[in-house]
Structure 1
Amino acid sequence: GVEIKVRVDNQELKKKGLRKVYTIQARDTTRVLHDIDLGDPGLYQISVRVWDAKFKRILINTTAGDERYFFVASHQDVEVAKTQLASGVRVSGKNVISPLRFDPPDLRWESVQVLPKHALRGEKLKLRLNLMNAGGDIVRDILAKVQYYNVKQPMRKSVIAMPSVHVMAPGEITTFDLEYILPDDQLLGKYQIIATVDPDNEIEELKENNNAAKSNVIKLSDIKLLLPTDKFTFEENGLFLFQWDSLAFSEFKIQVGVDEKFEDSGSYFDLPQGNRWIADKELVPLAGELPGMAMGLMRAKEKNQLYWRVIGRQASGRQAVSGINRFSITPVSSDSS
């Protein structure tokens, strides 16, 4: 629930405000636009509240000092201003009009978001970057630079895009929606996106040290585990479903065990068993395998935690191993009656 409150000379104008429920996807950014008629003179104060969907509980409120203000002059205000400008300031016996001065512009990133957080080599990344002019004056011909880098090699950055904006007014937000496909031979590991506005420092700004922002960390691999998610719990008599994704491999098998590093061959087993591989990217084990073999392995090794991973194989024979997720099985309680 989003509420925009409008006050004029400390009097709330409910008819000019807004109350509306929005649906926002996880990790997404939504811009709420609301037209306000500034026809009546006075000092306007704009503030925002975020409620639950039924407008019963406030989640976020504009803090004091962060409100936005707009002044609409009356006819009398204009006449007074004209008189003051006409009188000006006396310098060496002459009237000199004092020029109206604004704070310089101030460009900063409201957010830098990247999806998915776990990407495959060759998969398309979707970037959403929100750039704001938080200063007091307009700014023209704005250039930005978007790069990515491996967190272990922060000095080796590669340029993704160089978006630009012709003009931005004070308080305006510009959104860049970009897409990028990481190369198939990109080094595996963890990556971040860094966005820099005015990279050559050609624009005079109120603050010069807030022009760069980093995204969330992106994990890059060849095999991505989907289900079960880490720390998932199966019911013993429920459905056991394993899903994963890969663009680099065509054949797969999963391994389930009680060894979190899969170093002891007696502490895990393959599915499908033996030399069989599957082309599908999901597997529903037989009841004798899961929960059967897994429960037996936990009893034999006196463990209550299970782990799973996926092995991928190409036609050439090259193999790769995914990361490891944890899961557990809740036994069916016996009926004492």
Structure 2
Amino acid sequence: MSDASIQLGASGEGVLREEDARVADFFVLLKPRVMSLVVFSGLAGLVVAPGDLHPVLACVAVLCIAVGSGAAGAINMWYDRDIDAVMQRTRRRPIPDGRVEASEALGFGVVLALGAVMMMGLAVNWLAAGLLAAAIGFYVFIYTMWLKRRTPQNIVIGGAAGAFPPMIGWAAVTGEVGVPAIVLFLLIFMWTPPHFWALSLYRQGDYAKAGVPMLPVVAGPQATKRQMLIYTLLLFPLALMPTLLGIAGWVYGAAALVLGALFILMAVRVLLGEGDRGERSARQMFGFSILYLFLLFALLIIDRSPGLLGGWS
């Protein structure tokens, strides 16, 4: 093989590596970890809803929820690029790290958002599309651009954006929003503050440096811990409502009782913890909160799927 061929091959490999890196950077813009929970809760809403949706259309609905969530994440990263560059947790994101241009991220997010909403409307129904548009708009305009940098209640009100997916899934099947769908919305809405405040407790230095008025920065750790306990107590009966409304069986209900009690126990440990012990408890509560929501929605899906363990209703 000639030297020119070797150089050409090496150059081609370098181009492929660069393209792979670009794809990976744009994938990071979608906030895939957040997207996974959004998609899972949307799938749960779709599965528990009464009625049938063609499997292809169900897949389209879930894809649109995923793409819409990713689009909101990309626009969020575009808008927050200044504070992302300051915070330890986010400074290696593609925009502040210089791997993706801000204008590229914005264009990417807008195109995905419009495409997801249009596809949902044309392929499934326009109520589901409207709810998806509302979720994207709420996250971008209400939370990211308005609340996040102005009030310590940012995550309380802004958390509604992440609570839309079960309603979107329900609407995709039924063409309406029923009481059970609203309960699933409220379940995520009440879960979000203790989940996110647990993170902000051990990352409060980051938020203070970036000038983001998270509750621990503005009101202090103890006030935040008390609020976390209040929200976990309010969440406890909400998690039982799917069983009381008849969209889930007794196994889900028993699991919700146990998981809810553990969540409250963790909130009490965080409240009583001080120093390193308190930070460790906050980290543990943050990790458990993700598991808590995942298990609840997994049990809802299993409960309503006859092929999975025979269903438990």
TM-score (norm 2): 0.21
| Larger strand proportion of the pair | 1
By relative contact order (CA 8 Å, sep 6+), the higher-ranking structure is 2
TM-score normalised by length of structure 1: 0.20
